[in-house]
Amino acid sequence: GENVEQHPSTLSVQEGDSAVIKCTYSDSASNYFPWYKQELGKRPQLIIDIRSNVGEKKDQRIAVTLNKTAKHFSLHITETQPEDSAVYFCAASMNSGNTPLVFGKGTRLSVIA
Amino acid sequence: KAGVTQTPRYLIKTRGQQVTLSCSPISGHRSVSWYQQTPGQGLQFLFEYFSETQRNKGNFPGRFSGRQFSNSRSEMNVSTLELGDSALYLCASSFRLRDAEAFFGQGTRLTVV
User: pLDDT, tens digit, for every residue of A86-102?
Assistant: 999 999 998 776 778 89
Size of interface A-B (CB pairs under 8 A): 58
Chain B contacts of A93, Cβ < 8 Å?
A: 98-99
A87 vs chain B: nearest CA distance in angstroms? 10
What's the pLDDT score for residue A79? 98
CA angle A10, A15, A64 (to 5 degrees): 60
- Asked whether the predicted pLDDT for residue A113 surpasses 70, the reply is yes
pLDDT band of A52, cuts 50, 70, 90: confident
- B46-95: pLDDT as tens digits: 999 999 999 999 999 999 999 999 999 999 999 999 999 999 999 999 98
> Is the CB of B43 less than 8 angstroms away from the CB of A44?
yes
Task: Spell out a b/e string for A29-63, using b for 16 or more CB atoms within 10 Å of the CB, else e.
Answer: ebbbbbbbbbeeeebbebbbbbebeeeeeeeeebb
Q: Is A44 on the interface with B (CB under 8 A)?
A: yes
What's the pLDDT score for residue A2? 87
How far apart are alpha carbons B30 and B70 in whole angstroms? 9
A69 vs chain B: nearest CA distance in angstroms? 20
How many angstroms separate the first and last alpha carbons of chain A? 41
